[in-house]
Chain A
Amino acid sequence: MALELLYFAWVRERIGRDGETIEPPPEVADVAGLVRWLAARGGGYAEALGEPERLRCAVDQRFAPLDTPIAGAREVALFPPVTGG
């Protein structure tokens, strides 16, 4: 099923786009797997996503741990830790 990806802050800058629609392969089960699969594209993806411990994510606009399954999700956002306030 199609999945909307959104990128923010330096994740967006390194990848060079603010989002895309993808069809993840069946072996990609959770956000961490998605990050590894995207990073394997190399280039800006590897630069942005090569250190998953520096990333945070939201699944369908809710903060979620990286081991959250993506089955049934419509939107996954990848970004650095937030710095509001």
Chain B
Amino acid sequence: MIRALVTAGPIDAGEELARLEALGGGGVASFTGVVRGGDGVTALELEQYPGMTQAAIEGIAHAAAERWPLLGVTLIHRHGRLETGERIVFVGAAARHRAEALAAAAFLIDWAKTRAPFWKREWLADGSSRWIEPRPEDETSAAEWEASAEHGRP
């Protein structure tokens, strides 16, 4: 099962986990990204590149499925306006054993952060907003997966 979606609607993490758990593997690993509050942030707005963003999300999910022997891969990313506490991204992987599931989940979120065209804007309590700058460590994490593939490791 490969489930890759860009959606404006909410993410039901329980339902997504249940889909992965029903695939008959021995392990399911997941990561849920949540809109972080603090620093006066009241909401996030995610801009996408219609067409390319969906294709990129599908490509990342397929890349995970090619790297590890998985029974299921889920990558769901929201766009539009999200309030603090809402789920922004869900990744999950089901496999026969935990190592592949855990590694695939880490890969999925690292690549979703750096290999899919999304741009985040923070809205603040005073009504102002600002575009979020990328964090260099996100690119480092994503690049490490490419380096590991080049060295013949999963």
Chain A residues within 8 Å of B, Cβ to Cβ: 6, 8-10, 58, 61-63, 77, 79-85
Contact = CB atoms under 8 A, between A and B. Distances in A.
A77 B138 CA distance: 22
Secondary structure dominating the interface of B: mixed
Contacts of A61: 49, 51-52, 55
A85 B51 CA distance: 18
Contacts of A84: 46, 77, 89, 112-114, 116-118, 120
Interface residues of B, number: 26
A10 B133 CA distance: 11
29 contacts: A6-B49, A8-B117, A8-B119, A9-B47, A58-B49, A58-B52, A58-B117, A61-B55, A77-B52, A77-B117, A79-B49, A81-B134, A82-B113, A82-B115, A82-B116, A82-B119, A82-B134, A83-B113, A83-B120, A83-B131, A83-B132, A83-B133, A84-B89, A84-B114, A84-B117, A84-B118, A84-B120, A85-B77, A85-B88
